[in-house]
Structure 1
Amino acid sequence: MWRKAWTTKWDELAVLVDSGAAYLAYVLAVHFYLTVLNPRVATVQLVTYYFNFAFVILVSSWLALKLNFKGYSRRWNQLPAEMSMLFVANLEAGVALALLIFAMKATWFSRVIFLLYPATAFGLQTLLHAAIKVSLSRFRVAGKDQRRLVVLGHPNRVAVFAHTVRVVPEAGMQVVEEMPLPLGDDRAGEEALRRLRQVLAEQVVDTVVVALPVSDEVMVGALNLARRQGKEVRMVLDEIGALARDSRLYDFYGNSVLAVPASVSHQGPGAVVKRVMDVVLASLGIVVTLPVMILVALAIKLTDPAGPVLFVQERVGLNGRRFPCLKFRTMVPGAERLKAQLAHLNIMSGPVFKIPDDPRVTPIGRFLRKTSLDELPQLFNVLAGHMSLVGPRPALPEEVAQYGDDYRKRLSVRPGLTCLWQVSGRNQVDFQEWMRLDMEYIDSWSLGLDLKILAKTIPAVLAQRGAH
């Protein structure tokens, strides 16, 4: 109980110390600006304004640190991990400060201070953490502040973890008992739980470490035994657990659910901004191009009155959802039935069908394809949420059926009007390169990349690069 209370007090103290470092960084940034960079603007009134803001800095830093750290770990966290958390906390505090400055219309607040403050805070906090870790490491290497562990579970992982503890004495840990458990040996599991109860009763033990994988009976038994005695429990993850490194645990109506994100996550605030951008730009695009779409519809109807204006085709979207993809009709009616007769002319590798000088394409359709005007109705697909402005081009169900596991990652994002393939030559790019470009887009996605692709799309369309 004493150790648990001390840990809580240490956590709160560490948050306050880091908040104090942020406060000091703000004072230093203000002082440097008013005495070195721009001393001629320093007035009593301005100094008072900055001083009044200092309380806001202290509170916002404390909140950001509390939300990001949720308790410090002097022993288990390494400095790079703590630096990452500090960076995010200072970034959030900086954003909060910017919003407050905007809301209060504080035009007197210098941009220089706004930039200096979070950078100085991050530097001071990092120095503090490094100094504390160095001091504690020396203390622990001397054999003080030791945390005593019992490690049980998979034999290889028990051995590796115990070896790690021995070679990093600065962590201040000592393995007092190793309990390797072969998988599938129920008797060994029962014996291990009896041994664990005995060790907890006879020795000083602070933490029980369970090295996965172990049987459910052993894991539940060890957890219940340790928790009943007020012991901390840590788990060394196996290969499956390691995939859940960035996972999130939450309660779903009494069910404890571990949410494991996809290898490439297109969720979060960035995805919300992307969707807002899709809706705004698609709506604007529809308004701007509506006269053009009306003219195109009239041209199609006048030159080929036998067929419809729009060609509606089932395509595969986000995570395999089917949706009606809209295009202006560029082929003769019944073109799909003629596809099999022209299969030998296909110039694309893989499960994609493209032929030069396709006889099914109408004269007006050839113009629409070269100028990409045939795809304008897909702005309505973007507005409906079937598609995005930027993303892999939507595939046909029969094409998706031939995808391997890697290519199916294309379905992890909404298909788009344009993507890297669209601005890299389109039909001049073979199937393998097309897929590589789509994977590159998905793996390196950012809002900046979307804007860059959109900026390149208009010149590519005007130049008619790779269009047939």
Structure 2
Amino acid sequence: MEQGGLVNPFPSAHERLANGAIGEPVIDWEERYRRTVIAGDTVSTAFVVASIGNFFGARDAANWHEKWVILAFGTELLVLGALAMGRAWAPAVLGQGAEEFRRLGRSLFTAAVVLALGGIAFTSRNIKLWIFVAIPAIAIVTMTVRYLLRLRLHRQRKEGQCLRPVLAAGSPATLRDLITRARKSPHLGWRVDAVCTTDGLGFDGDRLEGVPVVGRLTDVADHVRRDGYRVVAVTPDPHWSPDRLQRLAWNLEGSDAEMVVAPVLMEVAGPRLHVDAVLGIPLLRVSMPAFTGGRRVVKAVVDRMGAAILLLLFAPLMLLVGLLVLLDSRGGAFYRQRRVGKDGREFTILKFRTMVAGADRARAGLVHRNEGAGLLFKLRRDPRVTRVGAVLRRYSIDELPQLFNVLTGSMSLVGPRPPLPEESAAYGPDIRRRLLVKPGLTGLWQISGRSDLPWEEAVRLDLRYVEDWSLALDTVILWKTLRAVVYGQGAY
């Protein structure tokens, strides 16, 4: 545990076990969390059906036991059965990513369809209530409960609890990237405890980014069985031929370890990535990004309806903010600026004015103080920002008028950040892929740190959204945007 008088901050699972610090087996907290999710879904569903039954059943008390109890109990069983059949409780998807909510939504939709068919078969006059009221209410409550459970799990993981010990095996360069990503995102639940390389060495001798190198790639299965790693992460290396990967999978059978193989296409994931068996050979099939089609129509409808609803809800706040902007400094309440949208078409973006009049002309004298990454111009303490403007920027209130841009179709609720014309003109061919979709009021960039992000990371997030877009991802981003706005991370 000590090297040169210093305590090793990254002990392996074997070292922690030997020193009595490894705690309860990982499988225990995973199963406990799964049981908690199942209990949450069960109680949430029961609460919704009981509430609806009590409210509407009281109007028809004479037939309560004949009708409402049967429908309520049947709905409960149907929903829980759909969740089980839809693998919405699979440990692999619980606690991270959009797949958990995608499976939850798909299962509840299936339950609604079965309810509808049952209502037609039994000519029930009350079935519409359960389809159009009960199921949506169950979706809202269960998703909220799951999100709260996920927040608690993520807090525990940031404290070093509820993590899966990982043995990574591959080339030193790809292993270093994996270790960096795992440490940067502890909420994903991976803790790289040890690595194996081709020659059993890392960049720092017997260590790689502080993680001990415990052996060669041929020793992976032995280390897993001896030290009890939960995940075996295989990263690219010339050593990994199909035969060797298959042999490793066979050797891991019977252990608690999950084998995860990183494909060469590291940034392609989500709904575009499929596994097919062609001539008996497992192949990764990467489908084309969906820039048109039915899902895009649904997204456009949701964008405009959502923008209209939000404008009605925020109308009093926007009126108050407009008055405060006018009283704080000379100039209009709104700021108009040309931005680049889908397919490179320019449009005028609307914001509440947060700077003094003539701020654009004063920018030239501040270029030498630029703190923005890449092509962005940002100052943490910009002298042009007004007192009211600083508060508006802190909580992203200045961006509310962009709902008009969403309503008119030049922007979307979720998408890449809308660039300035001069930024767009400097884009290379790869970065110009950001312009294949409408820019968004919010996006991966906003919920991941905004102006605090390095330029390369901001571009990577935008390109990831373009490549892996889905309605489920949009839903997750909108949900996380609320927390990002409240904390104001990277907003200045």
Q: Which range, TM-score by smaller chain?
A: 0.3 to 0.5
TM-score (norm 2): 0.43
Higher Cα radius of gyration: 1
Does 1 or 2 have the higher relative contact order (CA < 8 Å, sep 6+)? 2
TM-score (norm 1): 0.45
